Amino acid sequence: MIATIVSPRLMRIGGGSTAQIAEVLGLFGLSRPLLVTDPWMVSSGTVNRVLEPLAKAGITPTVFSDTVPDPTDTVIEAGVAAFRAGDYDCLIGFGGGSPMDTAKAMAILAAAEPGAKMRAFKVPASADKAAVPVICIPTTAGTGSEATRFTVITDTETDEKMLIAGLGALPLAAIVDYELTYSVPARTTADTGIDSLTHALEAFVSKRANPHADSLALSAMRLIGRHLRIAYRQPHNAAAREAMMLGAMQAGLAFSNSSVALVHGMSRPIGAHFHVPHGLSNAMLLPAVTEYGLNHALPRYAEAARAMGVATRDDADQVAGSKLLEELRELNQELGVPTPAQYGIGAAKWEGLLPLMAQQALASGSPANNPRVPEASEIIALYRRV
């Protein structure tokens, strides 16, 4: 098997590393950034964690803060207009997955002819060109977008959450500073934490798994399995926040070099049609989809259970696999993950959209990487089970 491995050229990791943003830009000769973030980062003053060290180095970036959760093609177009109106040599994506993905998508769209649409780049197309380099600074421990070759953008005409992949979406550099996550509310800590657990698990059981991605996925599962509950209950626990940030980044590197699979394929349509936060829709699906594939990659699922610390070396694979399912169900209960109905999604609308959602899930390509590859009818049945 031949595997292609990609990662940012530089990752600066550790508590307080955001203060070194100017130095990181300087390493690459960059000095004219457009900072892409979201409204909360500005209203809460969090954006100053980046602006102040830049100001000390004589850099005063323009701030584009119109990012929305589950970023849309129209926001990217507005961002590209802002980018073209100035003289920038890089983009800084600062925030959760939404601002980071916005910055990446802006770099891709800005490299295309004026008037180009984001949908031209969705999988199976490859988005390999970026107008300028992107530097990512995550503020949630979840998406791993700071280390991946993906950006996820919603097409506002079709309500499709499009997966866009290629070297154009790979950040040049990332600053990974867990101290930025102390302020993340418990709900978001849970959702983003399960997102990263899903990345690691799906990368590990994927048909595209490879030894490099495996090592990162196993390490991520060790960190997340032991620290997600603690970070959820004790937001200021430094060891837990640090472990979750590192685990999220490693999980990002793992799936970027392997793949995600059925959970993500089915999760994106839930996000697009019902605006459920990405990690939460993953969490809703994770136990049922894991059960569906379990016996098609049992040794891998069992190894994942051992890495997470919920099964031991002495447990046979079947026992470890059952323990994994039990753990995923318990985790959802402890982290207060609702069913779609409890989340407020009406049964009639849910049922009516299932054929389209199944079709959109399959079109993303992610289900084809699952250990058990479903037909559209099986995806519909799985949606009904959650």
> Which positions lie near ligand NAD, rule CB under 6 A?
38, 40, 69-70, 95-98, 101, 139-140, 142-143, 145, 148, 150-152, 180-181, 183-184, 188, 192, 195, 278-279
Identify which of residues 147 and 294 has a Cβ nearer to ligand NAD in the complex: 147
Distance CA 171, CA 5 (A): 14
Smallest gap from Cβ 211 to ligand NAD, in A, equals 21
Identify which of residues 150 and 274 has a Cβ nearer to ligand NAD in the complex: 150
Identify which of residues 53 and 69 has a Cβ nearer to ligand NAD in the complex: 69
Smallest gap from Cβ 72 to ligand NAD, in A, equals 10
Smallest gap from Cβ 150 to ligand NAD, in A, equals 4
Smallest gap from Cβ 264 to ligand NAD, in A, equals 8
Smallest gap from Cβ 253 to ligand NAD, in A, equals 10
Could you tell me if 64 and 36 are in contact, meaning their C-beta atoms sit under 8 angstroms apart? yes
CA angle 98, 277, 214 (to 5 degrees): 75
Identify which of residues 166 and 293 has a Cβ nearer to ligand NAD in the complex: 166
- Which pair of structure tokens corresponds to residue 56? 């000390």
**Which residue type sits at 35?**
L
Could you tell me if 244 and 227 are in contact, meaning their C-beta atoms sit under 8 angstroms apart? yes
Q: What are phi and psi of 118, to 5 degrees?
A: -60, -35
Distance CA 78, CA 316 (A): 54
Residue 10: name the closest of 20, 322, 67 by CA. Answer: 20
CB under 8 Å to 79, separation ≥6 — which residues?
36, 64, 66, 67, 102, 103, 105, 106
Could you tell me if 185 and 233 are in contact, meaning their C-beta atoms sit under 8 angstroms apart? no
Smallest gap from Cβ 88 to ligand NAD, in A, equals 21
Distance CA 327, CA 127 (A): 37
Identify which of residues 12 and 199 has a Cβ nearer to ligand NAD in the complex: 199
Identify which of residues 29 and 185 has a Cβ nearer to ligand NAD in the complex: 185
Identify which of residues 258 and 322 has a Cβ nearer to ligand NAD in the complex: 258
| C-alpha separations of 195 from 32, 190, 285 in Å | 33, 9, 11
Residue 82: name the closest of 55, 113, 103 by CA. Answer: 103
Burial pattern 196-214, b for ≥16 Cβ within 10 A else e, equals bbbbbbbbbbbebbbebbb
Smallest gap from Cβ 161 to ligand NAD, in A, equals 6
Residue 267: name the closest of 195, 189, 368, 344 by CA. Answer: 195
Smallest gap from Cβ 381 to ligand NAD, in A, equals 24
Identify which of residues 183 and 377 has a Cβ nearer to ligand NAD in the complex: 183
Handedness of CA 159, 161, 162, 168 (dihedral sign): positive
Smallest gap from Cβ 317 to ligand NAD, in A, equals 29
Could you tell me if 257 and 148 are in contact, meaning their C-beta atoms sit under 8 angstroms apart? no
Smallest gap from Cβ 314 to ligand NAD, in A, equals 35
Rg (CA), the chain: 20
- Which pair of structure tokens corresponds to residue 317? 């694979």
